[in-house]
Structure 1
Amino acid sequence: MEPMFSPALHRQRHQFVIDFVKQNKPKKVVDLGCNECTLLKTLRFHREIELLVGVDVNGVIVKKKMHGLAPLSTNYLQPSYDQLCIELYQGSVTQKDARLRGFDLVTSIELIEHLTLTDVELFSEVVFGYMTPKMVIISTPNSEFNVFLPGVSRYRHSDHKFEWTRAEFRSWAMKVCLEYGYEVEFTGVGKAPHGQQEAVGFCSQIGVFHRLMGRDCCNMLLGSDAEDVFSYTLLYSVNYPSLHNNNILRRVLVSEVLYWAEELKKRWMEERTGETCGELVFCQTEGGACAEDMKGLVDWSDASGSGQKQGSCTSRRCVAVPLDVLWSCCPKVSVLSGSLCNLRYLLMDEPNVKLSQDGSAVLLNDYEEDKEEEDDDCNLEDSGYAKASQHSHSAEQEEDWEAND
């Protein structure tokens, strides 16, 4: 049997929300009735969202799917400045919870028809009166469309308590707007057969609510008297890696510094340019990025004595890559650190980075010394020692009629 909708109706509903998020860029979003977290899994890639929350009364389903919201490996390998926290709760949309107040966007996709009419009143009070979000998207079946749906006699799903006509949905929505200070626009997804759209409307009707200007002050006053209720159970919480986290910032910065320092050293070694100061070789990049007066940057007078400091190379030559060279040649290093002074500060206590005594340069081992060690290792392998050493250490629940879409 050919699917009635392409894409499937549930995908069209989710795409409506995604397009809305792209246009309005909310930072805090909660999906009521998140079920299998399908919508949340898509919304997490829209990094304008900083807090993404899902709520569902069925905690068993949420627990089965919640780990699919964990950060991907690329989020750890290439963290960005974007911040994202995801939280999942078990709870009823008819109950208040202070943690969900003041969101930018609340979505309720095919949810209210599963509530009794009494609970719909509680839902209205909780969402519009208590949570007071800036925007709300509510979708629900349009019963006028049911004549086109195969196998539907009364309701589309056995758990539906009602299904509204377009007029009934409008009546409820306008009452909500009048009581709680919102305005609403009506639309939908799932077009009717050719020539029938005006007569029956969309398969899923959608109301998009916006809080009226001037209601913020009123809502704040109401909120100050509102009790802080915590009726939901937190099931899952995760913070995505972000460069706003200082530990992650340091890790990424160190990786970039070491990579580019080695690259600059390699270029310098290939060109065989530079100046020698004792056991120190200053790296000079293309265009003379390393100045003539670099010879006196580091005091190496006591490098072989007991007073050696961080980064002193006592047994081999070093290549010094000045931080200002890294700063000017490597845009990502400058972006991550913010300033040359901050770059020095962030690298100061890093065990994987050797700095000169005054902290002005990154010290790297001379390539020729490294090559000699490699040659020594090869000689050991040829002698059979390496082989002997190795031996010594070996040891969303969709409607029934949509199932085939």
Structure 2
Amino acid sequence: MDPIFSPPLYRQRQQFVIDFVKKTKPRKVIDLGCGECSLLKKLRFHREIEHLVGVDINGAKIKRKMHELAPVSTDYLQPSYDQLRVEMYQGSVTQRDARLRGFDLVTSIELIEHLTLADVEHFSAVVFGYMTPVTAIVSTPNSEFNPLLPGLSGFRHSDHKFEWSRAEFRSWALRVCLEYGYEVEFTGVGQAPQDQQHSVGFCSQIGVFQRLEGRDRFRASLSDDEEDVFSYTLLYCINYPSLRDNNTLRRVVVSEVLYWAEHIKNKWMEEKTGKKNDAFSLCQTEGGMDELHFEPHMEMEEKQTGSKMTCVSVPLAVLWSFCPKIEELSGSLSNLRHLLMDEPGVKLSQDGSSVLVKYQEQDQEEEVEDFEDSNYAECSHSAEQEEDWEV
């Protein structure tokens, strides 16, 4: 008999976690035994997660892949209000580390079978007794399924210390629940043929542990004055850009203001010169801009070189009122002015009420005077590690 898993079994295990995350929306997630970060690389796109942590005893594996968890260019170009912090640690799941306490979800996918039975007890105490997550997902091979795997003799992986039957896994899980205050639901991935599903179960058996209400009584063994332990080594840490960060918000607001102020200026130039500039025709496509009227005026700026620069003054009130994104980002006109102050890329009028956009540099005084005498114009705006046999 030659069972074929489609999709591959390791992907089914990962998808089980992803589906659980979609359903329960945990904010803080740890993957124990993260290996080369394949599950973490998928979880980072679920932006309900605000804190994503990977732990593995093999630091070299983490280092090979951890930089693939970095933000991509679009995360910087179009940051959202979502927050995400990614941390990668080298350490043993049999040791405590205070930085990993109080998470919403802990996953342990095909990990415990790599531990000795004595270390499994330490694992239980660390995860359920010390870390105390709201939920823990633990998967491990089901030895009853092994006879169905082609070419397999012995354990599924050379590093496995044991492989449990369904009864053995159930016995361990129920003992954990009784000792640490959890309840567990048993399931799995990798189905046997229809006529053997009841007799052998899933290829990978899974326990989903939920912390019971009133769980705090099980923490009595942890003294309030016990010192925090930091036994893991932090290998990688990065914060994704978020509009909740003031520096990121300021950068995006400045970019939007400069973009739309330039469009408004060029629309005014169209009206003034009578020449349509197709490059800026987009400024007429949003929000009924033709209904907007204001009177820009020219201001002279003295440059360090001694030459003069003529600017068009675009009121902040116009930008805030008729640019939905600027209004959404800044929240109020006063906040908009505050965000633009002291920005080297933005030139404000003396009273801080307008953005000055360069109109044209003049080398001859009479040409400057011509611009100063120009008529005012109207301007508008819208705008995991696979098992050997799986390979």
Match of 2:204 in 1: 204
Match of 2:142 in 1: 142
Letter paired with 1:72 = V
Post-superposition shift, 1:221? 8.5
Post-superposition shift, 1:182? 0.7
CA distance in structure 1 between the partners assigned to 2:244 and 2:24 by the alignment: 24
Post-superposition shift, 1:51? 1.0
Is 2:385 the counterpart of 1:397? yes
CA distance in structure 1 between the partners assigned to 2:11 and 2:216 by the alignment: 33
Letter paired with 2:327 = S
- The alignment partner of 1:15 has SS state of helix
Distance 1:65 1:316, change over 3 A: closer
Is 2:344 the counterpart of 1:351? yes
- The alignment partner of 1:161 has SS state of coil
Is 2:303 the counterpart of 1:321? no
Deviation string, structure 1 residues 25-76 (Cα, Å, up to 9, x no partner): 1111110001111111111111111111111111111111211112212222
Match of 2:376 in 1: none
Letter paired with 2:353 = S
Is 2:325 the counterpart of 1:332? yes
Match of 1:78 in 2: 78
CA distance in structure 1 between the partners assigned to 2:4 and 2:81 by the alignment: 42
- How many equivalent pairs are there? 358
Match of 1:383 in 2: none
Instruction: Tell me which moved more, 102-111 or 145-154.
Output: 145-154
Post-superposition shift, 1:352? 1.1
Do the aligned residues in 1 keep the contact of 2:340 with 2:346 (CA within 8 Å)? yes
Match of 2:368 in 1: none
Match for 1:286 among 286, 289, 301?
A: 289
Deviation string, structure 1 residues 265-302 (Cα, Å, up to 9, x no partner): 222333349xxxxxxxxxx99355345xx68xx9x9xx
Instruction: Tell me which moved more, 125-134 or 72-81.
Output: 72-81
CA distance in structure 1 between the partners assigned to 2:3 and 2:260 by the alignment: 54
Match of 1:239 in 2: 239
Post-superposition shift, 1:220? 8.5
Is 2:27 the counterpart of 1:27? yes
Match of 1:256 in 2: 256
CA distance in structure 1 between the partners assigned to 2:69 and 2:81 by the alignment: 19
CA distance in structure 2 between the partners assigned to 1:24 and 1:74 by the alignment: 27
Match of 2:353 in 1: 360
Distance 1:171 1:356, change over 3 A: same
CA distance in structure 2 between the partners assigned to 1:76 and 1:268 by the alignment: 32
- The alignment partner of 2:289 has SS state of coil
Matching of residues 167-316 of structure 1 within 5 Å: 167-216=167-216, 219=219, 222=222, 224-272=224-272, 286-290=289-293, 315-316=308-309
Matching of residues 51-66 of structure 1 within 5 Å: 51-66=51-66
Letter paired with 1:400 = D
Instruction: Tell me which moved more, 169-178 or 242-251.
Output: 242-251
Distance 1:221 1:343, change over 3 A: farther
Match of 1:281 in 2: none
Matching of residues 106-117 of structure 1 within 5 Å: 106-117=106-117
Do the aligned residues in 2 keep the contact of 1:130 with 1:223 (CA within 8 Å)? no
Distance 1:286 1:397, change over 3 A: closer
Do the aligned residues in 2 keep the contact of 1:156 with 1:401 (CA within 8 Å)? yes
Distance 1:155 1:316, change over 3 A: closer
Unpaired runs of at least 5, structure 1: 274-283, 374-395
Post-superposition shift, 1:360? 1.1
Post-superposition shift, 1:359? 1.1
CA distance in structure 1 between the partners assigned to 2:5 and 2:105 by the alignment: 27
Do the aligned residues in 2 keep the contact of 1:290 with 1:322 (CA within 8 Å)? no
CA distance in structure 2 between the partners assigned to 1:71 and 1:365 by the alignment: 34
CA distance in structure 1 between the partners assigned to 2:150 and 2:189 by the alignment: 18
Post-superposition shift, 1:371? 11
Distance 1:189 1:225, change over 3 A: farther
Unpaired runs of at least 5, structure 2: 274-283, 365-383
Distance 1:121 1:324, change over 3 A: same
- TM-score if structure 2 supplies the norm length? 0.85
Match of 2:367 in 1: none
- The alignment partner of 1:196 has SS state of helix
CA distance in structure 2 between the partners assigned to 1:125 and 1:103 by the alignment: 16
Do the aligned residues in 2 keep the contact of 1:29 with 1:105 (CA within 8 Å)? yes
Post-superposition shift, 1:85? 1.1
Match of 2:335 in 1: 342
Do the aligned residues in 2 keep the contact of 1:96 with 1:231 (CA within 8 Å)? yes
Do the aligned residues in 2 keep the contact of 1:133 with 1:211 (CA within 8 Å)? yes
Deviation string, structure 1 residues 79-137 (Cα, Å, up to 9, x no partner): 22211111111111011111100011000000001111111111000000000000100
Is 2:157 the counterpart of 1:157? yes
Do the aligned residues in 1 keep the contact of 2:310 with 2:362 (CA within 8 Å)? no
Letter paired with 2:339 = L
Post-superposition shift, 1:198? 1.5
Considering only aligned residues, what root-mean-square deviation do their CA atoms show, in Å?
A: 2.9
Do the aligned residues in 2 keep the contact of 1:96 with 1:229 (CA within 8 Å)? yes
- TM-score if structure 1 supplies the norm length? 0.82
Post-superposition shift, 1:2? 7.9
Do the aligned residues in 2 keep the contact of 1:309 with 1:357 (CA within 8 Å)? no
